[in-house]
Amino acid sequence: MCDFYDPDVNVTDTVTSRLANSGVRVTGARREVLRAIASIEGPFTIEELAAALPEVGRATVYRTVKLLQESDFVCRMVLEDGGIRYELSQGDHHHHLICSQCGRVSEFVDPGLDAIIQANADRRGFDLAGHSVELYGLCAGCR
C-alpha cells in the first residue's frame, strides 16, 4: 500500500502501538475497525466499513475513523462527485490523484505546492488551518 508501513509487520499492530505511544487506548472494537481498514483494498466509505463490521456499533466505527483521521493514520478525500472516501494514509501530509475510471488513488507530497498555498493565504490575511488537494482524471493505466 505504501512505504509508511513495514511489510513484515501487521498494519493493525503498527497503528495500535503508535496510537498507544501517543496515549490513545486501542480497545477491542477499535482494533476490529483497524483490522477491517487494513484489509480493505483502496478507498472506502464509512458505510462500507460499517457494513463490514456488523458486530461493531456504527457509532464506534464513525468515532474510530475520526480518531484515526485526526492522528493522520487515515486520510479523507472528496471525490469528483462530492462523495467522501477514506484510506489508510502514509502518515504525512499529502495530496491525492484520483482516477475517475478505476477509482485508484495515488498520493503525492509536494512541499513547493504547500508553500504556494500558504503564501496565497498569507497574502489575503487568511489564517490557514489546513488544506486538501485532490486531482481528478485518468491514471496511467486507464488513459
Does 98 sit near Zn ion (CB under 5 A)? no
Site string for Zn ion, 4-33 (x = CB under 5 A): ------------------------------
Does 72 sit near Zn ion (CB under 5 A)? no
Contact 77, 87 (CB under 8 A): yes
**Extended strands (E) in the chain:** 74-78, 84-88, 95-99, 105-108, 134-137
Decide the pairing of beta strands 105-108 and 134-137.
Answer: unpaired
CB under 5 A: which stretch of 16-24, 60-68, 75-83, 122-130 binds Zn ion? 75-83
- Restricted to residues 104-133, the positions that interact with Zn ion (CB under 5 A) are 104, 107, 114
CA distances from 73 to 28, 66, 100, 136, 138 (A): 18, 10, 24, 23, 26
CB under 5 A: which stretch of 8-16, 24-32, 93-101, 122-130 binds Zn ion? 93-101
Report which of 115, 31, 108, 16 is spatially closest to residue 71, judged by C-alpha positions: 16
Which of 27, 101, 118, 120: binder of Zn ion (CB under 5 A)?
Answer: 101
**Interface residues with Zn ion (CB under 5 A)?**
75, 89, 99, 101-102, 104, 107, 114, 139, 142
